[in-house]
Structure 1
Amino acid sequence: MHQFSRRTLLRGVGGSMALPWLESLSVWANDQTPLRQASEAPRRFAVLFAGNGFHKDHWWARGAGTEMALGQVLAPLQAHREKVLFIRGLYNEQALKGNIHSSQTGNLLSGAPLASGGEIRSGTSIDQVLAQTHGRSTKVPSLVLGCEKSNPSVHKNYSMLYSSHISWSSPTTPTPLELYPALAFDRLFRDTADAGDRSVLDAVLEDARRLRSGVSRSDQQKLDEYLNSVREVEQRIERAGTRGELQGWRPTLEKPDIPRPADGIPQDIGEHMRLMCDILVLAFQTDTTRICTLKLNNDHSALRFPNLGVDYMIHHLLSHQESDDWLKVNQFFVQQLAYIADRLDAIQEGEKTALDNSMLMFCSSMLTGSHNAGQLPVILVGRGGGSLETGRTLDYLDQPNRKMCSLYLSLLDKFGVHLEEFGDSRERLPGV
């Protein structure tokens, strides 16, 4: 039997045109992306999570555009107000059941009910739903990063693994969490540059030659004509780009522009988080992945912050105090989001930036450290390739539909993934 790597050919060709139907093989690509999108940068999606909520007096945003006012927690995002969408009042119904912490985190990105006792069961999270579709186009389907080790204990009859994982590949499988910057780096860059970093035709030639030897003569002619048309289109895009008529998109980097991190986990939590932020940006910039979650800490976190002069109390206990030190830690977490936004916004992709082509969702398992999950803190940064209207604040607190999963249905639509239901919702969130 002829062995054909359908995924490799789709990786080279599927971004702009589908594989033609061949009568002698049961291979027909289903990617019907219009030709006009051949020069457009892809959309990326990332979730940044900070456990235990935020200072009750300083998580807020009001107004619109450059006139938007931000509470002190969100002050690090001041420069990106026009690319911010602040969402108030959403909640996850299943987070109000079970216990605190675990039941407020394990289903944050799925809205699924959680199993208690010794069973582990949640739901497939939005990032992994996206990875099932868009992950086929990149070397790494999704990147799942963390800065604090998983907690294997049990809290009030629920596994604390729920508090340690927001990304779930299936209802019974939390996606493996990469805590070591060096290993995350190696996963992205340990072998040669992905075929998608080269020309479309060069990326698929080897597989095309293997395919050609296993099809009929008429299909060989059809494939030759098809590959010639690919080359012609590619050359036209390149020529148009040099004339300033069209930006033929390529990953900004062909190889890392930072050295491989040292083995192990850095002792400095600030350094650890910053390395993970850099790896996220590199992954997007090189188009090695388009889907990422970065868990800055666990819910019920035991992190301390000597880098901030806050080393006398672990994060979880600090969250029960509305103190200046709690605010300082909150701002430190938001600074990681702002740093990623800064870096992506400095990467030009035609008339847009990488931030314009991304959606960064920043959220927590509760609004405040008092375990208030009746509403959740949610902010989006980036315009999702123009699909997301930003520079706005939206309030759903008194609306009949204020489910987090309604937001997820709306966001999935913007990535071309149209579902009838997700989690506990069958309706989109109006206004998003």
Structure 2
Amino acid sequence: MKQARLSRRTFLRGTGVSLALPFLEAMVPLSARAAAAQTIPRRFIAINIPLGFLSENFFPEKAGVGYDPSPYLKIGGTLQDQFTVFSGVSHPGVDGGHETQKSFLTAAHHPAARSFRNSVSVDQVIAKAIGAETRFSSITLGEHSLAVSENGVVVPRIGMPGTAYRRLFMSGTPQEIASREADLRDGRSVMDLVMEEAKTIERHASAADREKLDQYFTAVRETEQRLEKAGAWEKTPKPQVDEKPPGKFEAEDVVAAYRSYFDVMRLAIQTDSTRVLTLGGTAIGTVPKIEGVAQGYHTLSHHGKNPDRLKQLEIVERATMKVFFDFLTQLRGFREGESNLLERTQVLLGSNLGNASGHQTNNLPLLLAGGGYKHGQHLGFDTKNNYPLSNLFITMMQRAGVQKDSFGGHSGTMRGLEMV
């Protein structure tokens, strides 16, 4: 009996509900099962924890394969062969304390300077290459945005997990959809008008003004592309999920916040709503809602080697690592053909600060999980003359299918990191 074949975009329909199916083996013929992994998309996730981690608890003592995990990495348990940890890596030329979160995914120099001008972030380079295949080319979440467009403008973040859930999975009434379509049409006509006027001005502009106008044109084109894409997806049913939207939580409940963000991120890639996600973590000054913690998180990060503050800070960081490893476990548990979600998703966890207590920006704590690499190792570089983080970004871009061999002023891929 000949087996029926399902389309990758097959929907289950009934009583007004449309359900998008995840990747199934029946979506490829039996003869092509061995190559099914080639049809499963690759994804990119980057997470920044802006107050970093205590280095003695994060970095293993020895480099190489089969290293003894550090106290924080032990929390990952059986996941050790699913990630690579890096030491001696940073962005040369990126200084300025907390302001360096602006450059975490861009490598743009001197973010604290008054004349600072940011550059495109690695997630947006990837989104430009593969984003047209999903409803959302990329999604940036959290307390600060890591995403920066080609013209150096920060991509607006979604600050609450519940808001992200509604945008991903909830549709409006027919009247609301019609209203959004009208807004899109009006938006396009406005863009057309603006472009014509701007081009007229350009003919009489100086060289400096033309440079500014070029940046402006780029922004307009990006807006226009987003509008066109939104119009095309407006009539496509959103995927339905069984899980309820994230509930409300106090801002101080750091664990609940991260767990909710991670749940939304998992659902977003599980339903193929997007393949590029970034999360800017918390640096709250108030007291985290975690047992054993009695001082503000930001205050604890400036511990000054105070034993009590170090103890409390470790509690916060352990809780953060625990919820992160739970996220990786969930990704590993979701099967896709002969693979799983973690094997097809590059997940970068790191920080823009190597030592938050002294606002130091060298030797950043970094961990790359999943993505189909040969993991289970600690790649240790010179902790004083650091290896450029941009080289890791180049490797990740190439793994996502972007043919680039330079980024952030550096060329070449990450030494020692090999693909399976």
> Is the aligned partner of 1:315 residue 2:312?
no
> Is the aligned partner of 1:186 residue 2:166?
yes
Q: For the structure 1 residues 344 and 166, does the alpha-carbon distance in structure 2 shift closer, same or farther, using more than 3 Å as the test?
A: same
* Equivalent position amino acid for 1:296 in 2: G
> Is the aligned partner of 1:296 residue 2:284?
no
Specify the alignment match of 1:429 in structure 2.
414
Unpaired runs of at least 5, structure 1: 1-9, 13-34, 149-163, 193-252
1:417 aligned to which of 395, 402, 406: 402
Q: For the structure 1 residues 264 and 327, does the alpha-carbon distance in structure 2 shift closer, same or farther, using more than 3 Å as the test?
A: closer
1:359 aligned to which of 323, 336, 346: 346
CA contact (8 A) 2:36 2:338 kept: no
Q: Is the partner of 1:144 in helix, strand or coil?
A: strand
Q: Is the partner of 2:94 in helix, strand or coil?
A: helix
CA contact (8 A) 1:297 1:303 kept: no
Distance 1:56 1:264 in 2: 30
Specify the alignment match of 2:388 in structure 1.
403
* Equivalent position amino acid for 2:314 in 1: L
* Equivalent position amino acid for 2:123 in 1: D
CA contact (8 A) 2:147 2:278 kept: yes
Q: Is the partner of 2:149 in helix, strand or coil?
A: strand
> Is the aligned partner of 1:123 residue 2:105?
no
Distance 1:328 1:118 in 2: 36
List per-residue Cα deviations over 1:335-364 (Å, max 9, x = no partner). 222121011111011222111111110000
List per-residue Cα deviations over 1:267-297 (Å, max 9, x = no partner). 6332222111100110111111111111221
Q: For the structure 1 residues 89 and 401, does the alpha-carbon distance in structure 2 shift closer, same or farther, using more than 3 Å as the test?
A: closer
- The residue correspondences of 1:95-174 to structure 2 (distance < 5 A) are 95-96=94-95, 99-102=96-99, 104-114=100-110, 121-146=117-142, 148=143, 164-174=144-154
CA contact (8 A) 2:55 2:365 kept: no
Specify the alignment match of 2:244 in structure 1.
259
* Equivalent position amino acid for 1:274 in 2: R
Q: Is the partner of 1:294 in helix, strand or coil?
A: strand
Unpaired runs of at least 5, structure 2: 1-7, 11-33, 173-237
CA contact (8 A) 1:70 1:78 kept: no
Distance 1:374 1:114 in 2: 14
CA contact (8 A) 2:94 2:108 kept: no
List per-residue Cα deviations over 1:296-322 (Å, max 9, x = no partner). 214xx424312333132x222201225
CA contact (8 A) 1:63 1:393 kept: yes
* Equivalent position amino acid for 1:93 in 2: P
* Equivalent position amino acid for 1:40 in 2: T
Q: For the structure 1 residues 106 and 349, does the alpha-carbon distance in structure 2 shift closer, same or farther, using more than 3 Å as the test?
A: same
Q: How many residues get paired?
A: 315
Specify the alignment match of 1:80 in structure 2.
79
* Equivalent position amino acid for 2:288 in 1: F
Distance 1:401 1:101 in 2: 19
Which shows bigger deviation, 361-370 or 275-284? 361-370
* Equivalent position amino acid for 2:298 in 1: H
Q: For the structure 1 residues 180 and 120, does the alpha-carbon distance in structure 2 shift closer, same or farther, using more than 3 Å as the test?
A: farther
CA contact (8 A) 2:64 2:378 kept: yes
Q: For the structure 1 residues 255 and 264, does the alpha-carbon distance in structure 2 shift closer, same or farther, using more than 3 Å as the test?
A: same
CA contact (8 A) 1:179 1:265 kept: no
CA contact (8 A) 2:131 2:276 kept: yes
CA contact (8 A) 2:37 2:338 kept: no
> Is the aligned partner of 1:380 residue 2:380?
no
Specify the alignment match of 2:88 in structure 1.
89
Q: Is the partner of 1:45 in helix, strand or coil?
A: strand
Distance 2:396 2:300 in 1: 33
Distance 2:290 2:45 in 1: 26
